[in-house]
Amino acid sequence: MENGSRSQDQAREAGFFPAAFRALPEGIRLPENPEAIRLPGDASNRRYYRVSGAGAKSLILMVLADADPHRQPVEEVTAGEKPTEEIPFLNIQRYLEKLGLPVPRVVYHDRERGIIYLEDLGDTLLYDLALPAGPRAERDRFCQALELLVELQLRAARRPDPDCLAFHRRFDAGLYEWEFQHFREELLPPGLPEASELARGFRKLARELAEEPGYFCHRDYHSRNLLVQDGGIKIIDFQDALQALRQYDLASFLFDAYVDFPPELVEELLDYYLSAWERAGGKPDEHAHFRRMFYLAGVQRGLKAAGRFAYIKRVKDNPKFLPFIPGVLRRARRWFPLFPELAGLEKILDRELKINSQ
């Protein structure tokens, strides 16, 4: 899964970009004397470059892990995958664009080289705006992002498309439980005396999450996957989209692994989301149940993120996400008291990881 790739190896070669530029069809205008500058990436198997110069707008060049969709490394474990001849990013981008949602436009897909030219949406992440002054200062933008999430969920619910991969992939109980166990395997020592009790609790909570109605789920909707451009918010990194309970993306956003939302702001923005949902024509929720599932999704998402960060260090030798683990776990355990199944985990975090809720 984490081995090198043909496309990424080519991108390191001196002649890769000139050859890629020459292969563009007529009608796609590149800047004069184009230069490809590597952009800071996350932990994915894709690489991104900005192609810029004089005389034309810059473009973003995505270099895929492999040109063949059948050999694309899987970034996330997924249940119910549909066989496809198409790269998931392109499949889901086309669907979201058809819904009128703000995603980067695909300029050209070079199948032979495994590269995709995209509209350049700039560099300003919502995270970049929230970090200096704190999340309270960017409340209006967070509300804007929540309204966009409501649009995404309702438009997809009203216009499902069997050709879109996201409608053939789902979060089932087995996948939720796998993510719980991923956290345990990556961050907790083996042979814990509470291991059996913890596994039973994870299994029960996974079933509870899986029983909720499924909606289109970005799966990674947070401040580092939302770009701010010309006063609007654009969605990126949606290739792992699937069906999941509505609260999952909401929890991904408000339990952000990178931005520490104070509990009172979480409550305020949760209320804002519920109001925006009803204003947009969504069916009113039973608030007590909705909130319980929101907190459970947030806890599950937080544990999964912490385990993923440890995995990235162990497998990819990339330690950049390790500093976020304590904060992610502290925020998740604020809500442990709502779920008796996690009582043992509180003790384990105190004893094994020295992480409390403060």
* pLDDT recorded at residue 356: 64
Mean pLDDT, range 266-283, rounded to an integer = 97
Does the pLDDT value for residue 217 go beyond 80?
A: yes
Confidence of residue 80 (pLDDT cuts 50, 70, 90): low
pLDDT band at 311 (very low <50, low <70, confident <90, very high): very high
335 — pLDDT class (breaks 50, 70, 90): very high
**CATH H superfamily, domain 126-353:** Aminoglycoside phosphotransferase (APH), C-terminal lobe (3.90.1200.10)
Using one digit for the tens of pLDDT, what is the confidence trace for 238-259?
Answer: 999 999 999 999 999 999 999 9
CATH number of 6-119: 3.30.200.20
d(CA 282, CA 260): 28
Residue 247 confidence (pLDDT): 98
Return the pLDDT at 135: 85
pLDDT digits (tens, 9 = 90+) for 99-112: 999 999 999 999 98
Mean pLDDT across the chain, nearest whole number? Answer: 89
Burial 110-121 (b: 16+ CB within 10 A, else e): beebbbbbbebb
Cβ-proximal residues to 215 (8 Å cutoff; 6+ apart), any chain: 153, 156, 157, 243, 244, 245, 246
Instruction: Please state, in angstroms and rounded to a whole number, the distance separating the CA atoms of residues 211 and 209.
Output: 6
Residues of the chain within CATH 3.90.1200.10 domain(s) are: 126-353
Q: Tokens at residue 238, please?
A: 């949606």
Please give the average per-residue pLDDT across 158-176, as a whole number: 96
Q: What is residue 16's predicted lDDT score, i.e. its pLDDT?
A: 84
pTM of the model: 0.91
pLDDT above 80 (res 75):
no
* 38 phi and psi angles, rounded to 5 deg: -65, 135
Mean pLDDT of 35-39: 90
- Phi, psi (degrees; rounded to nearest 5) at 11: -65, -20
As annotated, the residues of the chain forming the CATH 3.30.200.20 domain(s) are 6-119
Q: Rounded CA gap, 98 and 101, in Å?
A: 8
